[in-house]
Copies of this chain bind each other. A is one copy, B any other.
Amino acid sequence: MGGGFGGLYAARSLAGAPVSVTLIDKRNYHLFRPMLYQVATGLLSADQISGPLRSILARQRNVEVLMDEVTGIDAQQRLVHLTDGDLPYDYLILATGIQYNYFGHDDWRQDAPGLESLDDADLIRGKVLLAFERAEEMAALGQGTPQEIQQLLTFVLVGAGTVGVEMASTLAEMSRMALAHDFRHIDPRSAQILLYEAAPRVLPTYPQELSAQAQRHLESLGVKVHTNTRVTNVDADGIEADGQRIHAGTVLWGAGVLASPAGRWLGAESDKSGKVIVNADLSVPGHPEVFAIGDTAHVVAPSRNLLGIRSQEPMVLPGVAQPAIQEGEYVAKVIRRRVSGRPAPPPFWYWDKGDLAIVGRIYAVADLRFVRFAGFLGWLLWAVVHVYFLIGFANRFFVVLQWGFAFLTKRRQVRVFPGQERR
């Protein structure tokens, strides 16, 4: 299993069970992805939204952590293939996550990085700040035309899902507030933030009214929103959208996801983004000892909302933290019962607490299913929920302080970018 939300909660829920758990991840840390955009835009530092898997699980004696990457699975022999060797299993929980989908154009990745890991966050932070630095230097040395400088200060975001919207609003506020007085030859407030979405509205998985409110708020921050617009090309010079060329110094990607090849490894049926279609107990059809959870699984399950009301129809669970956590805990329960010879638990159902998306420094949209709202109250809810869930072990406390500080001063304190020095 991996060290994301699904894998970590599964491992934790197996505490005390008569099993030996091995958690495998190619990174040595658990990442609190919902706040990753804050690292990418320099509000928090990488260490504050991540924790070493080893120390998170240090006290749970039946768990060990291996830092390696899964390269394949031999379901007959019950072996996981790693880069450095093979590991046998009795039960296997696949929580191997996703990547952004460049729709067959993997060469776009270089010019339009997506925000997936701490490395990406560092890279994006550096890219954005370096664009301002280059523009300032060109203006200072009298180089470049005004058009070239404006191009450097043009930031394109492809995809208006949660990450795209978070990044767009944060970049807009950054250039209008935090950076506003730091430069002498350019005005960071002249930066253009362009958000492109192929669907008819931003946050397409949210209710229509919240999408509309989010779009209005983005526009009030100065973000130019282009919906119904498909990006047809990306290169070092910018993008092409609906046949029109947009010159931009920085392009960031937040569109579409592609699951890990877990389905292929098992020869199991997958949906179009590669997620394994699982049984009602989250096991992989034909392999009762193998489970898929989180972004590795296509789960259709009954749900109840915060008021306990059952939904009319089963829902396809979204690729966010809550389903992964609940699936991880459920699979742990299935395994505990099976090893102790007790009957299987009832099929998995999802406790649907709703969705939250940040659209500005103090603005978020909230869909709690039984009620929807947007604005400061949404942000407050977002902040409380995220700080609470930030599996932070000491980090939690510092994050709150740092937020409070940034909130009061409207400045971002964390703006260095190691790894991006000029050589």
Contacts and interface: CB of A to CB of B under 8 A. Distances in A.
Interface of A: 22, 26-29, 45-48, 50-52, 54-55, 58-59, 64-69, 82-87, 117-119, 121-122, 129-130, 133, 136-138, 140-141, 143, 181-185, 393-395, 397-398, 401-402, 405, 411, 413-423
A413 B401 contact: no
Given A28-B129, A54-B183, A394 B419 contact: no
A423 B54 CA distance: 19
A119 B122 CA distance: 12
A85 B122 contact: no
A137 B416 contact: no
Contacts of A84: 137-138, 141, 143
A65 B416 CA distance: 14
Please tell me how many copies of the chain the complex holds.
Answer: 2
A229 to B, nearest CB: 33
A55 B415 contact: yes
Given A54-B182, A55-B182, A26 B67 contact: no
Contacts of A83: 422
A259 to B, nearest CB: 18
B26 A423 contact: yes
A55 B129 CA distance: 13
A415 B52 contact: yes
Given A141-B85, A423-B69, A416 B29 contact: yes
B50 A47 contact: no
A416 B47 contact: yes
B419 A182 contact: no
Contact of A422 (B69, B122, B421, B422): B69
A419 B46 CA distance: 11
Contacts of A393: 413
22 contacts: A22-B140, A26-B422, A29-B415, A45-B45, A45-B46, A46-B418, A50-B416, A51-B413, A51-B416, A52-B416, A54-B182, A55-B182, A55-B415, A64-B184, A65-B136, A66-B137, A67-B130, A67-B136, A82-B141, A86-B141, A119-B421, A393-B413
A28 B416 contact: yes
